[in-house]
Amino acid sequence: MSFLHFSYRRFLLVFLLVLPFAIFAEQKGLFRPKAHSIEAILYGVNLNVISYKGEAISYEAKIEDGGKISIVEDAYLVRFRNSHPVRGIVNVFVPENMKIESLRIYASGANVTVNNVNAVYFVSSMCHGNIEIKNCLLKCASFSMASGVLNMN
């Protein structure tokens, strides 16, 4: 009985020491194919929206210092949000043939890159940070920046 109790304590100790480093270090996921709008409300987290050969929107989030971001799929909308400033990067992968209905990015203290994406509505609002848009087709676009650099190729 004491051996089992000791092993349980050791396992619990190791688990609690490793848990903070493993839970929010990296998140990956694939959304349902019917999701066709993206909203990102991020503070201190860099965002890359990139096309890829796939069937549905997917993501990869690497967040430092045990922080976390909320990633939610709601009907046809995919939402990335953090309530407290954290550092990291979120890569959102959009299928090459998909036309995004709405791509809304609200960021502060971050760099945003949108590459090879087609979107009907594009909205970007930033307090400070940089936006780089490459090889994109945007039907209706709105940019609002307090400070930073907007680079469109």
Does residue 7 carry a pLDDT above 80?
A: no
Look at 9-23, 26-40, 75-89, 120-134 and tell me which has the smallest mean pLDDT.
9-23
Q: How confident is the prediction for the chain on average, in pLDDT?
A: 85
Q: 24 near 87, Cβ under 8 Å?
A: no
pLDDT of residue 9: 61
User: Mind giving me the DSSP string for 37-74?
Assistant: EEEEEEESEEEEEEEESSSS-EEEEEESTT---EEEEE
Which is it for strands 88-95 and 45-52: parallel, antiparallel or unpaired? Answer: parallel
For residues 151 and 112, give the distance between their C-alpha atoms in angstroms, rounded to a whole number: 10
Tokens 């000791």 appear where?
6
What is the band of 8 on the pLDDT scale with cuts at 50, 70, 90?
A: low
Start-to-end C-alpha separation, the chain: 69
pLDDT of residue 22: 41
For residues 14 and 64, give the distance between their C-alpha atoms in angstroms, rounded to a whole number: 21
Q: Comparing 41 with 18, which gets the higher pLDDT?
A: 41
**pLDDT digit string (tens) for 40-83?**
999 999 999 999 999 999 999 998 877 888 999 988 999 999 98
pTM for the complete prediction?
A: 0.80
Does residue 126 carry a pLDDT above 70?
A: yes
User: Mind giving me the DSSP string for 87-137?
Assistant: -EEEEEEEETT-EEEEEEEEEESEEEEEES-EEEEEEEEEEEEEEEEES-E
Output the CA angle 145-74-57, nearest 5 degrees.
70
Mapped onto helix, strand or coil, the DSSP state of residue 25 is: coil
